[in-house]
Chain A
Amino acid sequence: MKMTNNILKQEIMESLPDREARTFVKWRYFKQNLFFSVVRLSALIIVISLGGFLFYIFINGIGAISWDFLTLYPKDSMTKGGIMPAILGTIYLTSGAIIIALPLGVMTAVYLSEYARQGTVVRIIRVGVNCLAGVPSIVFGLFGLALFVVFFQFGSCILSGALTLGFLILPTIIGASEEALKSVPQTFREASLALGVSKWQTIFRIVLPNALPGIMTGSILGIGRAAGETAPIMFTAAAFYTAKLPASIFDEVMALPYHIYVLATAGTHIEQTRPIQYGTALVLVALVLGIDLAAIIIRSYTRKKRRW
């Protein structure tokens, strides 16, 4: 490609009438090279920032990681020991969130795209859902605090936190599921109906299975988001320190993102716990990136396997 470009360039230059035309063309190519360098530079900056950031967290955090770190309780006012309760807390909260958001989200998406009469009402609902996907996480935190912790008197616990997180990722799941459902070709539905299959059977046996990869990708990304969020759980579920694992969903938990935040800003030994903060950050980043990487791999795998 490059070689033909150069040959082409030579031919073009030779075919030009005079020096003025040649200079003009040279100037155009100069502009192009300048622009392309800037563009390549931007991409490079992004790659370096991402790489540098991850590398920095890795280098500073890897020292703290050990089997003990991942499986023990914190000791000695958090300056030693591990972060196991935080890891488990994050798992509990995220599982709770997805258990709430997934069924609700998928069913809503199915209704909106398969059953509802497409008109202004549905359009308003869709815009509303998209807007809520962009609402700051702190607003969800406020909402969770006011509704679940105080009004329902659940107190600060796994239930409140999971509900808040579930509502946080609900718009994302609805959006992703709708996209997935929309991408199933209409011809599939039409063929099924033409064969006499009822609408609900069409949905369950044809549309949903084909939309499943997209729905799964969306939910996995939602899980990744729920695992990394701090603001919604700050006042609805998270504690600085719990001596034991929660015995029920009405107990507070430690959580990875909150652990980083609280050790770094409100802890009792901020400088001494620095290695633990880095270690926790590394675990959280690894967890979230792992989850999202899984989603991306699943998505490209299913895209290749697609039958349409």
Chain B
Amino acid sequence: MVRIVKILILSLMCLTLVGWNTAFAGKTIVIKGSTTVLPIAQAAAETYMKTHPEINISISGGGSGNGIKALVDKSTDIANSSRFIKPKEVELAIKNGVYPVPHRIAVDAIVPIVHPENPVNNLTIEQMNLIYQGKIKNWKDVGGKKMQIVVVSRDTSSGTYEVWQKKILNKAKVTPRAQMQASNGAVVQVVSKNKYAIGYIGLGYLDSSVKGIKVHGINASAQAALSGVYPIARPLFMFTDGWPNGAVADFINFVVSPKGQVIVKKEGYIPLY
């Protein structure tokens, strides 16, 4: 009995040693925040580490709110955010001795999506406003079939949600009956399986399982977003505490460099240039 336990403990220690030796990392960069920016951050990290094998990058999602809060609490090096930092957050940061600096790394468009079988192709901002407040409840009121509308939204920690709130809802409250999802990916999943649903996602998450609809007749595309014609476009940020240096600065420089912007494009977002 005691022997078995000793053997178990020994093997555990060996496992650990193996792990240590094969992947001893030098500096770690901690990145947290927006699920919109997440694919860019992860793809960039994978590429970056091929050329900088001594750096370890650890990434988490959770939403822009999570990222900024982590920055304020000093528990992350980079905060991914799909919205700008709020004045209250800046106040809290300064109180905590953190000076948030934004770095624009890409441009994004928020696309409203519906189930591929939904015949609706176009909505106005006013219509979406009323839908999300719960005041329009049936698709027939916006030119679709006679069926109920299921509103899919994001959790309050989401930067995508905040931008949607500002541009579409205009400070009105989302209906409490909305299905809150934790990420862009979850919204895609729900809408692709639910013929009644409407949701909104970052451009990079648009795929064939859902149908993107036009806003005021304008399709979400790179040109429309960059030229400002598309009404729900926004920049994507990485925030740091003060001006970054060392590995963090190097990584952010990589993301805004041409090589990094290729990755942005590959993930479906809109490069800065």
Contacts and interface: CB of A to CB of B under 8 A. Distances in A.
A binds B: yes
Interface stretch (A31-39, A54-62, A113-121, A239-247): A239-247
B57 A266 contact: no
A241 B49 CA distance: 13
Contact of B185 (A241, A247, A252, A266): A266
B136 interface: no
Interface stretch (B24-32, B159-167, B227-235, B254-262): B24-32
A219 to B, nearest CB: 11
A88 B19 contact: yes
B61 A247 contact: no
Contact of B60 (A91, A150, A239): A239
A150 B42 CA distance: 25
A268 B201 CA distance: 12
A267 B30 CA distance: 18
A269 interface: yes
A68 interface: no
A251 B43 CA distance: 21
A149 B185 CA distance: 28
B38 A240 contact: yes
Nearest to A240: B60
A135 B184 CA distance: 32
Contacts, number: 108
A245 B45 contact: no
B58 A239 contact: yes
B42 A241 contact: yes
B265 to A, nearest CB: 15
A307 to B, nearest CB: 15
B59 A270 contact: no
Interface string A220-250: 0000000000000000001111111111000
Interface string B21-55: 01111101010000100110011011001000001
Nearest to A261: B182
Contacts of B188: 270-271
A156 B75 contact: yes
B20 A77 contact: no
Nearest to A298: B1
B221 interface: no
Contacts of A66: none
Interface centre among A156, A238, A268, A271 (most CB of B within 10 A): A268
Contacts of A95: 12
23 contacts: A149-B75, A155-B75, A239-B30, A241-B59, A241-B60, A242-B56, A243-B45, A243-B56, A244-B25, A245-B25, A246-B25, A247-B24, A247-B56, A251-B28, A252-B28, A252-B60, A265-B181, A266-B182, A267-B183, A268-B38, A268-B42, A269-B185, A270-B186
Given A150-B75, A244-B25, A245-B23, 17 more contacts: A78-B42, A91-B12, A92-B16, A149-B73, A238-B60, A243-B45, A243-B49, A243-B56, A245-B25, A247-B24, A251-B25, A265-B181, A266-B186, A267-B61, A267-B185, A270-B185, A271-B209
Interface of B: 12, 15-16, 19-20, 22-26, 28, 30, 35, 38-39, 42-43, 45-46, 49, 55-62, 70, 73-75, 181-186, 188-189, 192, 205, 209
Interface of A: 75, 77-78, 88, 91-92, 95, 149-150, 153, 155-156, 238-247, 251-252, 262, 265-271
